[in-house]
Amino acid sequence: MKQFNTIADLQQYLNEKRQDNAAIGFVPTMGALHEGHLSLIRAAKATCDFSVCSVFVNPTQFDDKGDLDRYPRTLETDAKLLTTEANDVLFAPSVDDIYPPGLNTAHGVDFGHMASHMEGAHRPGHFDGMAQVVRRLVDIVGCTHLFMGQKDYQQQALCREMFRQLNYDVEVVTCPIAREADGLAMSSRNRHLSPEERKNAAGINMTLRWAKEAATILSPLQIIGLATDMLNSIPGARMDYFEIVDGITLERVNSFDEADTVVACTTVRIGKVRLLDNMILKAV
């Protein structure tokens, strides 16, 4: 695996690859890699000629400075894991290289309501920072395919919408959620849970699995009411939201007939840790 820490070095290398018309699969991450990230690398390797993984803790998507400071930085271990997966290129740029003073790096897209509810309502500015860095990184890498996790459902839906509005010829591939044995979605934040909280956190996925079964007999509104009670009754837990939405537009649905794809999205705080999860309740 090659590692580049500057845009100039990365682009010099990738320009040669592009001349051969290679399909370049790109996996943007913030590091602290786990099985979920590695499943994206495997998908990129299986689909494309070439895989590029970035590790960049993007300061513009953190609404909470303490959260940014606490974010785990484990580049050496990440590089070892990526080598084991035979990833082709690791790109680990500096903040100054990504956001040089004077350069306009705004994402330039109007997401409307798509970005203002669910995560958007709880983390002001988060999605603007996320879209900014994804657009910037995709511009730098010049990938043909972008691999993202279903784990951050709203994020991948917004990136699809961004490339649609910008007319980018980039295929977004959304990969399934990698989970622990008890169903908890893998996340770099799970390491901040105490053993007791970690055990209780399995209740989030249990509730989503219940919602999937209930979708055959109950309405979205009924499921939201009962799921809210279930999540808030997990010891030490406080639900931020539980929504049932159209999988493309992210608009709330009142009936499962309203959209081809319907997804339940939730975020629950257990102790100080915010845990995101979702479940596709209906797909065509």
Q: Which stretch binds ligand AMP (CB under 6 A): 16-24, 183-191, 205-213, 217-225?
A: 183-191
Helix (H, G, I), strand (E, B) or coil at 137: helix
Helix axes 202-214, 220-232, angle to 10 degrees: 160
Half-sphere exposure (CA, 13 Å, Cβ side) for 270?
A: 25
Find the catalytic residue in 34, 37, 113, 126: 37
Answer yes or no whether residue 205 interacts with ligand AMP by CB under 6 A: no
Residue closer to ligand AMP, measured from CB, 180 or 226: 180
Rule CB under 6 A: choose which of 53, 186, 231, 268 binds ligand AMP: 186
Q: What DSSP string runs through 139-189? A: HHHT-SEEEEETTSHHHHHHHHHHHHHHT---EEEEEPPPB-TTSPBP-GG
Residue closer to ligand AMP, measured from CB, 37 or 126: 37
Pick from 32, 76, 17, 25: nearest CA to 48: 25
Cα distance between residue 41 and residue 57, in whole Å: 18
Name 236's Cβ contacts closer than 8 Å, sequence gap at least 6. 196, 197, 200, 270, 271
Which stretches within 48-125 are classed as H helix? 65-70, 75-84, 95-98, 119-122
Q: Which stretch binds ligand AMP (CB under 6 A): 113-121, 161-169, 179-187, 266-274?
A: 179-187
Binding mask 8-37 for ligand AMP (x = CB under 6 A): ---------------------xx-----xx
Answer yes or no whether residue 204 interacts with ligand AMP by CB under 6 A: no
Answer yes or no whether residue 276 interacts with ligand AMP by CB under 6 A: no
Answer yes or no whether residue 93 interacts with ligand AMP by CB under 6 A: no
**Residue 37 annotated among the catalytic residues of the structure:** yes
What is the smallest separation between the CB atom of 198 and ligand AMP, expressed in angstroms? Answer: 15
**Beta strands per DSSP E along 82-143:** 89-91
What is the smallest separation between the CB atom of 37 and ligand AMP, expressed in angstroms? Answer: 5
What is the smallest separation between the CB atom of 150 and ligand AMP, expressed in angstroms? Answer: 6
**What single-letter amino acid sits at 40?**
L
Active-site residue list:
37
Binding residues for ligand AMP, rule: CB under 6 A, are: 29-30, 36-37, 39-40, 148-149, 151-152, 175, 177-178, 185-188
